[in-house]
Structure formats: structure tokens, C-alpha cells
Amino acid sequence: MRPVRAIVSVSDKTGVVEFAKELSNLGVEIISTGGTARLLKEAGIPVKEISDLTGFPEIMEGRVKTLHPKVHGGILAKRDSKEHLKAMKELGIERIDMVVVNLYPFKETVAKGARLEKIIENIDIGGPTMVRAAAKNYKYVAIVTDPKDYPEIIKELKETGEISLKTRFNLARKAFNLTAHYDALISDFLYSIDENGDEIQCRELRNPLTITFEKVQDLRYGENPHQRGAFYREVFVKEPCVTRAEKLHGEKELSFNNIYDLDGALNLVLEFDPQADGIACAIIKHANPCGMALGKSVEEAYEKALKVDPVSAFGGIIAFNAKVTSEVAKLITERFYECVIAPDYDEGALEILKTKKNLRVLTTKGLEGLERKGIDSPFEYRRVVGGLLVQDRNLITVDPEKIKVVTDREPTEKEWKDLLFAFKVVKWVKSNSVVYAKDGVAVGIGVGQTSRVDSARCAAEKAKLMGLDLSGSVLASEAFFPFRDSVDEAAKVGVTAVIQPGGSIRDKEVIEAANEHGMAMVFTGIRHFRH
């Protein structure tokens, strides 16, 4: 297909003057609108106004300018259909062989915090309509939506005199992907506000579900070297997260597993407010914490977290909820870690960490949005073959006033503090899980066993192996105890208080076990399964 006539109407004007000039030199007639037409005319390129083509002026502040049969007839006509050609001749419709269009900057307008009225005005109507029409008719029409494609199109025209069917088909695929992304962005934004434009915290589990993500980068591979991988992000997320984090150092790119572990580590430390709760340090390995502690300083928090399991910490991910200092940076560089993520680093710390060329150092640029109401990214997605599981993010927090003491003895003040700490930690451990905690340190972490009592035993054995004393510790379970055996195991190692959701048909038996051992036990009514 050799183009004779092209509509050029773009919001992103990158390279459009040079592209249009090349098209014009190749004998292509340029039809344009509004600001694009003015820009091309100023560059000395012959341009025909869209109103000259349609015989109808642009109206309603530009809302209606290309929605006309002489535009869409020229785009959609089948060149090998006698009926279509006859209609074009009778109605004076000229063929349009190329459509060069990109869309109003809806995403950018939202990102700038514009008022709802301006955001609505940046919902493109005529653009997507032309894009879809041209893409549908790719057999005869080239649809160009990305300035990056301009050089290759000109090269192909100069070398062969036409745009091949293969190129037109690939451009059409790209165009439909663009309009699908654009519409999904609009839908996603509108579901995040009410009719007055105010943000809302809850979004519907709508049907059908339209979601869209933008590619951040290709990854070296997925979970394993034989799997391809890429990292995508939601568009309108503002809360502190790995997706928004900036990499400050590290010669190697982040891997699939790095990003997944960074997400878990960051979410764990974000459970704790550095002012109210203390400075938190989490060390994650294979999606599970192998160290977690609170401290009065980042150095203290790190050293306590590392003592939980220094063997597993090798090659792990570290997260902090406070600025990293030079002192803790020195300690970090004494061992091998994959990544560190924190809200900030002092100048000396960053220089020290940069001495480890393969250590990836990331910042979340502060902890604004620490309360994480879930407005930005309210859902979690989990793929299954042929489908998608969708759920609300687990953002619920335990209200201490609503926790029920179910044993004869109430927890002491110290036990209460450790119980609340442990229950926040166990939320981010793969199920079945238990956490032993003492003095703001997760001294034993039982990960992902198919039996809860096995999780309790494994955590206790690991603590013993690391030389950690569990006497006077508390135990948190992310789900109810189906039997008393886990409580009996906990008593053997010196646990004095237990926090769990409750809700088992054997709760009475479990409570009796706690009373027999002189333990305090509390029910939260909240389960934290993490598969």
C-alpha cells in the first residue's frame, strides 16, 4: 500500500514535523487539525485543514472535528469493494491511507492533580475512534500511534515505495493495545472517585474486570532462567511501594525474585510507624522473613534482626522504615545481600553501600502515605491457568480495644506489646505460620508448613539452633489452632502468651491448654492466611 493521503493529528508532537515533512516530500497529502495543523504550517509543510475535508467546522471547543463520514468513510472503505468505491464516488469521499494519531494526555493530566473538569476534557473521543477505524482496516490503511515508529515507516517507504501488510498489521495490533490501555486507565480512574471527584477507598469487584499495566522493564528471566519475565506497574499508584522505588545503585538489574522479595520486605516494615512503634528492619529470603526486629536505631534493629537467622540472611533482601545511616551501612557491607530498600540514606551511607557493586540500593523517597488506605492499589491479583483470582489487599489492622482476652490470665503490658508486634509480623509469613516474639524481635519464625504444629516446632528448633532464648516469649499464629498441640509445644519452650484469630470448633480445648500452662491468650477475630 502506497499512501496518498494521511491524517496527522497528534497530542504528543515528538518528531511529527520531521515525519510529516518526509511524507509530504514523498507526495503524501497531509490533512490535520488544531494545534498540529498550525505547527506543520509554521514549519512550511503544505497542510489541508480537516474542516476543508469535511465541509464542517470544528465545534464545541474541538470536541467535534473528526467525527464525520468524510473522515471515517475515507478510513474504513474497502479498496477492493465496488460497493464501497461507488459510495465514495457518489458522496465525494476521498480515501485516507494513513492515520497518524496519538491520544489526549489523560494519564498525565490525572498525575498533575488536575480538577475533574479538566481530566474529563482530556478523555479523547475522536482520536480513539480514528485509531480503531484505521486499525480495523489495516488491510488498506496504516495506523501510526507511536512516534518511535516514524523512522522505520519512512525508511520502508523510501526503500520499497509502500508500507507492507506485515507492517500495517503490526501497527494495528499496537494501536488496539493503545486504545485498550487508554480506556482501562479511564475506567480505573473513574472507579477510584465518586461523582464529585473525591477519592474513595473501596472499588467494586466489577464485571468485566479491565486492568492495565505499563512495562517498567524486561527482566533477565522469570523465577527460573528458562522463563521469560518483565516488570509492569499500575499507573496511578502514589503510595510507597517497590513499583515507585528508585534504584540508586547496583550494576545488576533487579530480578523477578528480587522484586517479589522487595515487595514483601517493604510491606512488612510498613506495618510499623517509626515514631509510634520503633524503627523496623526486615530481612527476607524466598518471600519469607528470616529476620525481623524493632530498635531505637537502624543499627540496633538490623543487628537484632540478623541474629534471628544469620545463615538464611545470606543473599537476602533488607528493608527499613527509616533512613539508613553510615553505621548500619558498614554492617550491611560486611555480608552478602541482594538488595536494600529504605525511605532514605544519609550521604555517607550511600557511599559505603556503593562499594558493593552488585548490591542493589533502592529508596521509596520517604514514607508519605504510611497509613496505606488502599486507594491507589486496592486489589491483589493471582494468576491461575486460564483465569485470575482477585481480592482486596490485606490492609486490615488489629484494633487493640477489640481484641478479646479468653484465658484466666490477661497479658502483661510487656506481653501485649510483643503480641501486637508478632501478629503484624506473622501476617507476612507464608502459611501455615507462627512467630515467636520477645522484646520486639521475631526470635522464631515458622514458615509455610502444612501442619501448624510443625511450624511451631520448626520455629522453636531454629531459634534454639541460633542460640536464642524463647523463655518469656509470645506466640502469634496467623490462623486459629485446630488442636491444642501447638499450645503445648509453645509451653515447652517457655511461651507465656498467645495471639491468634480464634474461631476453631476446638477453641475451648485450646483455651483450656493455655490455662493449664498459665498462659495468656487473646483472640483477634482476624485471619492472615498468606499462600
Answer whether residue 114 shows pLDDT above 50: yes
**In this structure, which topology does domain 5-190 adopt according to CATH?**
Rossmann fold (3.40.50)
pLDDT at 9: 94
Residues taking part in catalysis: 136, 286
Instruction: Report the alpha-carbon distance of residue 234 to residue 345 in Å, rounded.
Output: 26
pLDDT value at residue 523: 97
Please give the CATH number for the structural domain made up of 402-523: 3.40.140.20
Most confident of 16-30, 238-252, 356-370: 16-30
Position 369 scores a pLDDT of 45
Domain 242-363 and domain 402-523 have a common topology: yes
483 neighbors 453 (Cβ within 8 angstroms): yes
Which of these ranges, 16-25, 276-285, 321-330, 380-389, has the smallest mean pLDDT? Answer: 380-389
Asked if pLDDT for residue 370 goes beyond 50, the answer is no
Per cent of the chain over pLDDT 90 is 80
- Report whether 481 contacts 487 (CB < 8 A): yes
Residue 201 pLDDT > 80: no
What are the angstrom distances between the C-alpha of 57 and each of 68, 93, 393, 402? 11, 17, 50, 66
242-363 has which fold? Cytidine Deaminase; domain 2 (3.40.140)
pTM: 0.88
Neighbours of 220 (CB within 10 A): 12
Q: What is the pLDDT of residue 408?
A: 96
Mean of the pLDDT values across residues 106-117? Answer: 91
CA distance 499 to 410: 12
Domain boundaries of the chain, sorted by first residue? 5-190, 242-363, 402-523
Average pLDDT, the chain: 92
Confidence (pLDDT) at 367: 63
Q: Are 15 and 152 in contact (CB under 8 A)?
A: no
Q: What is the pLDDT of residue 61?
A: 80
Decide: 442 and 435 in contact? Cβ < 8 Å.
yes
pLDDT digits over 440-460, tens only?
A: 999 999 998 999 999 999 999
